[in-house]
Amino acid sequence: MSSPLPRSGAEILVGGDVHGVGYRNFAQRKALQLGLRGYVMNLKDGRVRVRAEGPRETIEDFVRDLEKGPPLARVEKVSVTWLPPTGRFASFGIRFAEFDT
């Protein structure tokens, strides 16, 4: 079944105090609630990387959630790079190691 809205992709980088505060679980929960696909992972430099695919408006709603983060997080910066969707994600997961995709 295809979505009536055009699909988009985004790479979102989140900086601040976002490691060890449940940020990845928060991002996964929000993405699944919104029906997005992709992944979230911690980066070695202290940021969190999120790759999301779905309707652009839904991704924009997701970014607003990411700007707030879970209660223990202190989000300082969120940057979004819009990309074409790959269609390769079946769901939204947490990745536990930094590597190139």
- Set 37, 42, 47, 51: catalytic member: 42
| Local structure of 68: helix, strand or coil | helix
Token couple for 40: 């979230």
Task: Tell me which of 24, 37, 47, 51 is the catalytic residue.
Answer: 24
| Backbone region of residue 38 per phi and psi (left: phi > 0; alpha: psi in -120 to 50; beta: other values) | left
Q: Are strands 92-95 and 37-42 parallel, antiparallel or unpaired?
A: parallel
Active site residue 42: yes
Query: Any catalytic annotation for residue 25?
Result: no
Catalytic residues: 24, 42
